[in-house]
Structure 1
């Protein structure tokens, strides 16, 4: 859910800026998405990350990198298009479900891989960071969704 919340953050933040002045925001958006992707790629290329770990944390990191690249594409497209087509919104929400599933699988793998903290420390700590970010963004989006539902009920 962390990546899905970044897409929504980029979309809603870009709507505060007039359309003819969004170039600077798009550059900041590209730099921010690089800041999310670069540490994952760094950990993936570390020699210690290839060591044995009883949980497939390296596979989980590869999936996270793939989803980060897709999220980068969504955030760039969402800041460029106005209005965003319904089909693209549907694809983004499906991506949110996939991101939620990957986050929960990553959380389960990380919680059961405490022994990997000694064999693959960078990989374990990156997985721990991604797990916390996923859980926090899931909680924030659940609260936001609950508030949206109560607002819709009152109308």
Structure 2
């Protein structure tokens, strides 16, 4: 859910900026994409990452890199297109389900791979970071969802409040 939340943040942050000044935001967006991708590529390229680890953390990191690349495409597209078509929103939410599943897999694999901290330390620690980011962002998305649900129930004009 971390990547889902980053796209959401990029979209809503870009809407505060007038359309003709969004180039500056695209530069900031590129910096964030770089901050997400560079550590993953660095760990993937380390020779110690290819050592034996009982859990498939390297495969999981490959999936995380692929989803990060897709997320960078979504964030650029969402910040440039105004209004965003409904089909793009639908694919974004399907992507959110994929990132939720990938975050769950990352958490399970990392929590069961304590022995990998000795054999593949960089890979294990990047998995810990991705797990923490996933847990945090899932909590934020859940709190936001509960807030929106409560807000909808309170302000829904279709509710009949007369008795």
TM-score grouping bracket, smaller chain normalisation: over 0.9
Give how far 1:51 is off: 0.1
What is the number of residues matched between the two proteins?
A: 155
Moved over 6 A (4+): none
TM-score, structure 1 length as denominator?
A: 0.99
1:42-99 CA-to-partner distances (Å, cap 9, x unmatched) read 0000000000000000000000000000000000000000000000000000000000
Quote the residue 2:159 is aligned against: none
Mind listing any 5+ residue stretches in structure 1 that lack a counterpart?
none
Quote the residue 1:62 is aligned against: 62
Give how far 1:145 is off: 0.5
Question: What are the within-5 Å matches in structure 2 for residues 1-155 of structure 1?
Answer: 1-154=1-154, 155=156
Greater C-alpha radius of gyration = 2
Distance in 1 (CA, whole Å) between partners of 2:17 and 2:142 is 26
Mind listing any 5+ residue stretches in structure 2 that lack a counterpart?
157-163
Give how far 1:129 is off: 0.1
Distance in 2 (CA, whole Å) between partners of 1:129 and 1:31 is 19
Give how far 1:31 is off: 1.2
TM-score, structure 2 length as denominator?
A: 0.94
Distance in 1 (CA, whole Å) between partners of 2:34 and 2:79 is 16
Alpha-carbon RMSD across the aligned residues, in angstroms, is 0.4
